[in-house]
């Protein structure tokens, strides 16, 4: 019997699906993919259309809502919703430092992880769709990387989609990983400048923390994370969401405590920094982050690390010497993170092999299919989104036939969550051509 639970106004049902690890070998090894079905309590017995939600990431489980929170409240007015834990995440068959050694050594682990990109996720969705909808197409809502997966879905199996909705996740159809990060660093620089303009007192605070780390060397936080100057700079990843600047500000103001041995980083700061920096809860985010941009015949080769060298303004030592604001960095993965984060250290060799890999599967996007798209598509593009380049998104919007965009600077990358019902409602209206 499928377990169901009730929360305020909703009924939740666990769904577990068995899918091939490699869809090109359907009779081979299988894994499990978990989905949480959600329906409004007063509609639980009704025959409703389905909406599939694809979370951002890569490597993030579907959000755990309590009742009808954020965009879910709007969705439940029209749909029965499936919150999918994409393969390797959440309650799906996990892929992390604890489980990957079951595959063998680093080479076997890397080979296994090649099956965790958007094309495999979409093929999972198609098998799942046939089981839950009886074959009817469903509406797909993709946030961030979930939007990347939605564009792959439109490329590979558009017949499975009734309506496609994308928030902060229209990917470039042809950019390399180098192109992605070359466009990203200037955006990151702008977000850091905006933070310092909002909280000018944080200029001195950030410099003081970086100077402390530079003088005393990396500090092993209470949770085991090794905080270096570069790791501290990477807290700028917070600046891409609506309340991120405020969270960074409150984190910095609690940095130091006076001890018998002088100033030290406070336990409060250490706990909050560890929570913000560790990838223990989403290791695939780090391990597959550049692989989502990999193209056949090309190695990503630690693109973010390599491209950063083209932007000397991110040199913390120079900033400290010149007495200028410390540059924060943002959404990028670097080799040193595998030494800093205990959750990633055992995966270092597998990550190196993925960075060197060139024999990736066929392209994730098919421009010729998208150019003749017939599925109603609407996308929210957040102006100067730190995580997804606006110019790349708009170029893709032009390449997908019939796609309607809503470009806004009212929200950051997390607009679909931060706006309550508003962003999803706007996208539905665009897709249905009611505005």
Task: Provide the phi-psi class of 302: left if phi over 0, else alpha when psi is between -120 and 50, else beta.
Answer: left
Determine the average pLDDT of the residues in 369-377.
Answer: 98
**Measured at the alpha carbon of residue 243, what is the angle toward residues 223 and 334, in degrees to the nearest 5?**
50
Residue 39 backbone dihedrals phi, psi, to 5 degrees = -140, 145
Rounded mean pLDDT, 354-361: 94
Instruction: Output the pLDDT for position 361.
Output: 82
Task: Mark whether 389 is an active-site residue.
Answer: no
Sequence length of the chain is 435
Query: Which pLDDT value is given to residue 121?
Result: 98
Concerning whether 120 is annotated as a catalytic residue, the answer is no
pLDDT score of 4: 87
DSSP designation for 62? P
For residues 88-116, one letter each, b for 16 or more C-beta atoms within 10 angstroms of the residue's C-beta and e for the rest, the string is: bbbebbbbbbeebeebeebeebbebbbbb
Per the annotation, the verdict on 266 as an active-site residue is: no
Which of 85, 92, 124, 144 is an active site residue?
A: 144
Q: What is the pLDDT of residues 306-319, one digit of tens each?
A: 999 999 999 999 99
pLDDT tens-digit map of 323-348: 999 999 989 999 999 999 999 999 99
42-89 tens-digit pLDDT: 999 999 999 999 999 999 999 999 989 999 999 999 999 999 999 999
Q: What is the mean pLDDT of residues 382-399?
A: 97
Spell out the residues 6+ positions from residue 428 whose beta carbon is closer than 8 angstroms to its own. Answer: 74, 78, 163, 165, 378
The whole-number average pLDDT for the span 130-155 is 97
**Tokens representing 243?**
């309340």
Which residues, including other chains, have CB under 8 Å from residue 118's CB and lie 6 or more apart? Answer: 145, 148, 149, 152, 292, 364
Angle between helices 201-216 and 244-253 (to 10 degrees): 60
Q: What is the token pair recorded at 246?
A: 């405020």
Q: How far apart are CA 167 and CA 413, in angstroms?
A: 8
From 283, 303, 305, select the one nearest 350 (Cα to Cα).
283
262 φ/ψ angles, rounded to the nearest 5 degrees? 105, -170
Q: What is the pLDDT of residues 250-291, one digit of tens each?
A: 999 999 999 999 999 999 999 999 999 999 999 999 999 999
For the chain, which domains are there?
Answer: 4-173+365-431 (3.40.50.1820), 177-356 (no CATH)
170 is written with which tokens? 């229209």
Which candidate in 334, 413, 414, 419 is catalytic? 413
Give the model confidence (pLDDT) of 89-135 as tens digits: 999 999 999 999 999 999 999 999 999 999 999 999 999 999 999 99
| pLDDT attached to residue 363 | 93
What is the per-residue pLDDT for 1?
Answer: 54
pLDDT of residue 165: 98
Taking the CA of residue 1 as centre, how many other CA atoms within 13 Å lie in the half-sphere pointing to its CB? 3
How much of the chain exceeds pLDDT 90, in percent?
A: 96
> Does 423 have pLDDT greater than 60?
yes
Q: What is the pTM of this model?
A: 0.96
What whole-number distance in Å separates Cα of residue 222 and Cα of residue 224? 6
DSSP code per residue over 213-260: HHHH--EE-TTS-EE-HHHHHGGGGGGGSTTHHHHHHHHHHT-EEEET
Nearest to 419 by CA among 56, 140, 69: 69
Pick the catalytic residue: 8, 47, 322, 359? Answer: 359
Res 162: pLDDT:
98
The residues facing 142 across adjacent strands are 54, 166
Give yes or no for residue 214 having a pLDDT over 90: yes
Measure CA 180 to chain center: 15
pLDDT higher for 278 or 5?
Answer: 278
Q: With bands split at pLDDT 50, 70 and 90, how would you rate the model's confidence at 362?
A: confident
| 150-172 confidence digits (pLDDT tens) | 999 999 999 999 999 999 999 99
């Amino acid at each position: 019997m499928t377990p169901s639970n009730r929360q305020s106004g909703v009924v939740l049902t666990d769904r577990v699906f068995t899918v091939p690890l490699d869809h090109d070998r359907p009779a081979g090894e299988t894994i499990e993919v978990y989905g949480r079905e959600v329906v409004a309590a007063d509609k639980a017995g009704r025959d409703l259309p389905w909406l599939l939600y694809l979370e951002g990431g890569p490597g993030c489980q579907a959000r755990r809502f309590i009742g009808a929170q954020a965009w879910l409240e709007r969705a439940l007015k029209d749909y029965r919703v499936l919150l999918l834990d994409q393969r390797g995440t959440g309650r799906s068959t996990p892929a992390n430092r604890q489980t990957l050694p079951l595959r063998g050594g680093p080479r076997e682990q890397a080979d296994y992880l090649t099956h965790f990109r958007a094309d495999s996720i979409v093929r999972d969705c198609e098998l799942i769709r046939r089981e839950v909808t009886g074959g009817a197409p469903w509406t797909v809502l993709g946030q961030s990387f979930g939007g990347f997966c939605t564009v792959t879905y439109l490329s590979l199996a558009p017949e499975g989609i009734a309506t496609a909705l994308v928030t902060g996740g229209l990917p470039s159809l042809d950019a390399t990983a180098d192109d992605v990060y070359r466009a990203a660093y200037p955006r990151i620089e702008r977000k850091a400048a905006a933070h310092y303009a909002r909280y000018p007192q944080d200029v001195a605070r950030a410099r003081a923390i970086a100077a402390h780390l530079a003088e005393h060397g990396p500090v092993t936080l209470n949770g085991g994370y090794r905080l270096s100057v570069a790791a501290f700079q990477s807290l700028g990843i917070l600046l891409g969401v609506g309340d991120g600047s405020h969270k960074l500000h409150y984190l910095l103001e609690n940095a130091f405590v006076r001890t018998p041995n002088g100033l030290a980083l406070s336990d409060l700061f250490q706990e909050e920094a560890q929570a913000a920096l560790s990838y223990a809860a989403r290791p695939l985010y780090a391990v597959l982050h550049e692989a989502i941009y990999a193209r056949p015949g090309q190695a990503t080769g630690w693109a973010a690390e390599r491209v950063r060298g083209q932007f000397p303004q991110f040199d913390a030592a120079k900033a400290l010497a010149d007495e200028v604001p410390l540059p924060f960095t943002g959404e990028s993965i670097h080799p040193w993170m595998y030494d800093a984060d205990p959750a990633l250290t055992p995966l270092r060799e597998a990550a190196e092999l993925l960075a060197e890999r060139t024999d990736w599967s066929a392209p994730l996007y098919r421009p010729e299919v998208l150019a003749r798209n017939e599925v109603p598509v609407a996308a929210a593009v957040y102006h100067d989104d730190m995580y997804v380049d606006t110019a790349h998104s708009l170029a893709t919007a032009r390449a997908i036939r019939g796609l309607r965009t809503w470009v806004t600077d009212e929200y950051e990358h997390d607009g679909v969550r931060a706006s309550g019902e508003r962003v999803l409602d706007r996208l539905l209206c665009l897709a249905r051509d009611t505005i």
